[in-house]
Structure 1
Amino acid sequence: MGRYHSAAPSVGLPGVDDALRALTAAGNKDGLANGYSRAVVDPRLSGRGRGVGDGQILDAVVASDEVAAGRPAPHVIHRLMELTGVCDVRRVLAAGDTVNDLAAARNAGVVAAGVRTGELHRADIDVHPHIHVLGGVRDIPGLLKIS
């Protein structure tokens, strides 16, 4: 799988980097809980990084092979909380565009937001527990009233 992903260039979705920068500037911790292995994740991040600084805009990244079980288990989200020093699940928003993303958020006890940039459409999102439905990650600052 790693060979396929390294051959396919990563293209960021419009507005994601700007949204992450706005969230960071407002004092939020931003992380990526990924369903792929570290060997697949790192090349696709293309400078977004494992920590803030030197142009990197994520505070932490957790890959599925770094925890006991991947999504829908809550472990990747809880590990991100550990790495970023967040203790209260009520202060965590997990935005995801797959059924497993929403299930992991529910299992982690965090606020879930369905994002319509992947395999899920509004009708798909509505059958899973979630609090918000977003057009994309770029909409998170608006949801949190961050400009």
Structure 2
Amino acid sequence: MVRHPRPHPSPHDREHRRRRRRRRVPAVHEEVAFRDLWDEPFLASAAESGWWRDYLLATDGREGHPVRVGTLAEPPDEWLGAIAHGCGAALAPASNARCHDRPAVTHRLVSGVGPSRGARARAPADDRDPVVQDSVRRSQENGGAEGSNTTG
């Protein structure tokens, strides 16, 4: 599995889900428009992570408004700890609410920013593998790019 966008996607990547992004914040916040977050500090990965940092900060959805970085964080536990301590906010796929749950952090839907997208990446030779073909088909049937996983 890979997270899109990525710098040089393969023509063999098959997007199989699209989920609205949620904002990771201290548990006191409510649902919010992305534009309302532009002046808040965000958690960021190191500048060397390039396109991944831009994706995490949703720079493509800021209409040129500069990003305010609150702190740098890398692994999920570090991010969640920084959020819980008020060091900054972060955007994450809605599905992460189930995987990365903390009592002091809540996940709220964010409007005005594109969804997080996931795709199945595979080598061209895998196109002939019936197991891979079946897996791709099932992914698309059970929540493809515009399927049931688009909102949550």
Higher RCO (C-alpha under 8 Å, 6+ residues apart): 2
Please give the TM-score of this superposition, normalised by the length of structure 2: 0.34
- Structure with bigger strand share is 2
Please give the TM-score of this superposition, normalised by the length of structure 1: 0.35
- Structure with bigger helix share is 1
